[in-house]
């Protein structure tokens, strides 16, 4: 990776020159414009767009707050506590985390560019990544059921991330890719972190995913047979944990998640 940092009048650009040799701020607005014209909006909440570059298909995500804060601040984040340090901004932190996960051999998007724009006491942020093949687990289950082997593969993937210490802040059916013929992968690492492996946050991740699947199940159609599919996911999870577990981490207890 050849990381380049460029200061602008109203913020910063960070980009990997090995992928895109020269990045200007206009790349981000052009990406949104071309994506809107082609209708290639990425699935899920927030503002995310697919677009083409000479280096291949990319996805641009514009950071936007959720919940009550989103209604008040929209896509703006406090800049003041950062003391103008761009590395403390959320897009920068996700860039760094993705690089760490890639170095561990985990299937995550490769970060390509970050843009930060100052707005008084606030900033706005964008992250460009390589697009991974496949569709989200939620979209797949709205079309067809998965085999039990695929559910086991998903469980084993989550265990690999957990063994690496990745606590995913929003593990849900929109943040897992499970397309036909494609390897499963995990996306959206905003506010995620690496931490010592512990049963408490591992169980919380799994419980959040199960709640997400149950929520989608209330839509129709949605091919999730909880009794069999979730048991297969846990089987894959526990099998991966059992083969790779560090004795200091203790035994996996994902079966406690109901």
Per residue in 167-210, pLDDT (tens digit) is 999 999 999 999 777 789 999 999 999 999 999 999 999 999 99
Tokens of 174: 């929109």
Tokens of 3: 């990381």
- Residue 13 pLDDT > 70: yes
For residues 125 and 179, membership in a common domain is answered with: no
- What CATH number is associated with residue 202? 1.10.510.10
For residues 12 and 75, membership in a common domain is answered with: yes
Torsion of CA 59, 187, 151, 166, to 10 degrees: 160
Pairing relation of β-strands 77-78 and 111-119? unpaired
- 165 or 179: which leads in pLDDT: 165
pLDDT in tens, 49-74: 898 888 999 999 999 876 666 566 67
Task: Give how many domains the chain has, as a whole number.
Answer: 2
For residues 220 and 248, membership in a common domain is answered with: yes
For residues 150 and 217, membership in a common domain is answered with: yes
CA–CA dist 195, 172 (Å, integer): 20
22 assigned to active site: no
What burial letters (b/e) apply to 165-200, b meaning 16+ CB within 10 Å? bbbbebbbbbbbbbbeeeebbbbbbbebeeeebeee
For residues 97 and 153, membership in a common domain is answered with: no
Query: Which has the closest alpha carbon to 105: 244, 209, 231?
Result: 244
Q: What letter would DSSP give residue 178?
A: -
For residues 226 and 248, membership in a common domain is answered with: yes
For residues 101 and 17, membership in a common domain is answered with: yes
pLDDT in tens, 118-161: 888 889 999 999 999 889 999 999 999 999 999 999 999 999 99
For residues 20 and 117, membership in a common domain is answered with: yes
How far, CA to CA in Å, does 200 sit from each of 195, 196, 237?
12, 11, 15
Strand blocks (E) in 131-172? 166-167
Tokens of 255: 């079966």
For residues 143 and 251, membership in a common domain is answered with: yes
CA–CA dist 51, 73 (Å, integer): 27
Residues whose CB falls within 8 Å of the CB of residue 199, separated by 6 or more in sequence, listed in order? 250, 252, 253
**Catalytic option among 170, 229, 244, 253:** 170
pLDDT in tens, 22-37: 888 788 877 766 655 5
Residue 244 banded pLDDT, cuts 50, 70, 90 = confident
- Domain end marker among 130, 160, 179: 130
Say what percent of the chain tops pLDDT 70. 83
**Model pTM?**
0.87
Q: What letter would DSSP give residue 187?
A: -
- Rounded to 5 degrees, φ, ψ at 138 are -60, -45
pLDDT score recorded for residue 40: 57
CA–CA dist 175, 167 (Å, integer): 13
pLDDT score recorded for residue 45: 47
Range of the domain at 80: 3-130
For residues 76 and 157, membership in a common domain is answered with: no
- Domain end marker among 130, 150, 173: 130
How far, CA to CA in Å, does 87 sit from each of 14, 47, 52, 258?
10, 22, 27, 39
For residues 251 and 236, membership in a common domain is answered with: yes
pLDDT score recorded for residue 258: 44
- Domain end marker among 130, 162, 182: 130
Place of tokens 């079309």: 143
The CA-based angle 29-47-106, given to 5 degrees, is 100
- Residue 16 pLDDT > 60: yes
Query: Which has the closest alpha carbon to 140: 155, 150, 126?
Result: 150
- Rounded to 5 degrees, φ, ψ at 62 are -95, 125
CA–CA dist 16, 4 (Å, integer): 6
- Residue 163 pLDDT > 50: yes
For residues 50 and 95, membership in a common domain is answered with: yes
């Amino acid at each position: 990776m050849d990381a380049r940092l460029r200061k602008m009048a109203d913020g910063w650009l960070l980009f990997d020159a090995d992928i895109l040799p020269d990045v200007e701020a206009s790349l981000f607005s052009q990406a949104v414009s071309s994506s809107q014209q082609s209708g290639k909006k990425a699935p899920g909440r927030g503002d995310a767009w697919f677009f083409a570059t000479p280096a291949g298909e990319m996805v641009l995500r514009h950071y936007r707050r959720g919940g009550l804060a989103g209604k008040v601040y929209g896509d703006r984040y406090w800049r003041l506590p950062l003391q103008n340090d761009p590395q403390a901004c959320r897009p920068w932190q996700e860039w760094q985390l993705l690089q760490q996960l890639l170095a561990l051999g985990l299937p995550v998007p490769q970060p390509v560019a970050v843009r930060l724009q100052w707005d008084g006491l606030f900033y706005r942020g964008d992250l460009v990544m390589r697009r991974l093949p496949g569709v989200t687990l939620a979209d797949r289950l709205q079309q067809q059921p998965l085999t039990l082997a695929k559910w086991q593969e998903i469980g084993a993937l989550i265990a690999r991330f957990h063994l690496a210490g990745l606590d995913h802040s929003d593990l849900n059916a929109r943040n897992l890719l499970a397309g036909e013929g494609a390897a499963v992968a995990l996306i959206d690492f905003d506010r995620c972190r690496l931490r010592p492996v512990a049963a408490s946050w591992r169980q919380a991740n799994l419980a959040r995913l199960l709640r997400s699947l149950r929520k989608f199940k209330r839509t129709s159609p949605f091919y999730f047979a909880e009794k069999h599919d979730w048991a297969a996911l846990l089987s894959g999870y526990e099998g991966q944990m059992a083969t790779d577990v560090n004795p200091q981490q203790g035994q996996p207890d994902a079966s406690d998640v109901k």
